[in-house]
Amino acid sequence: MKRYLIVFFAIIAFAFIVSCDSNVNKQADDMDGASGYTIETEYAYGYRIDNYIDPVSGNKVKSIQYNAITGKKIKDTFYNEDGSKSQEREFNSDNGKVIKATFYYQNGSKRVIENNSAGKVIKSTDFNADGIKTEETDYNPSTGIRIRETFFHTNGISSKVIEYDPETGEKVKETNYDTEGNVI
């Protein structure tokens, strides 16, 4: 029992040290010879982050974030040539399945896809460049069938809601709204 307590406290101490040390432990490794990228590893707030750097441009191409204690991947981010994000995915820490994916577009808009813990799509949401929700689609988590689509006015109020049968996917109801949220 004493041995287990020592191991437990050692793990807690390591997590504390890593969480307090945001940028001290940086190192560069050329471990990804197949792609030619240089990997720069940093430890920050209980996470290990591997940054893949293009040796020609010097730009970050992707980064992968791991839990420093378990070593499991929890997030990866891909970048455009100009350094802006192109895609970001978050992972379920238990099974490694994607639970959220965000796609960033050059015009400033983005799409967020949310999955349940089993990796099935449950919601997709589009935002314009100002961060205002433009469309949201909900899915049946068991079948993957679309069950509701909601479209939004530029002021963020629903403009149209279409509901679908959760088993067949057939349209069952459509409701339209004015810019004040009143049913038309």
Q: Report pTM.
A: 0.77
pLDDT at 166 over 60: yes
Please tell me the predicted confidence (pLDDT) of residue 31: 41
Average pLDDT over residues 22-47: 63
Average pLDDT, the chain: 83
Phi/psi for 2 (5° steps) reads -60, -40
> Quick one: what percent of the chain has pLDDT higher than 70?
81
- Residue ranges and CATH numbers for the domains of the chain are 1-64 (no CATH), 84-184 (3.90.930.1)
Using H for helix, E for strand and C for coil, what is the string for the chain? Answer: CHHHHHHHHHHHHHHHHHHHCCCCCCEEEEEECCCCEEEEEEEECCEEEEEEECCCCCCEEEEEEEECCCCCEEEEEEECCCCCEEEEEEECCCCCCEEEEEEECCCCCEEEEEECCCCCEEEEEEECCCCCEEEEEEECCCCCCEEEEEEECCCCCEEEEEEECCCCCCEEEEEEECCCCCEC
User: For residues 142 and 60, what is the distance between their CA atoms, to the nearest angstrom?
Assistant: 38
What are the pLDDT digits (tens) for 78-114? 999 999 999 999 999 889 999 999 999 999 999 999 9
What are the pLDDT digits (tens) for 7-24? 333 333 333 333 333 333
pLDDT at 3 over 70: no
pLDDT at 37 over 70: yes
pLDDT at 32 over 70: no
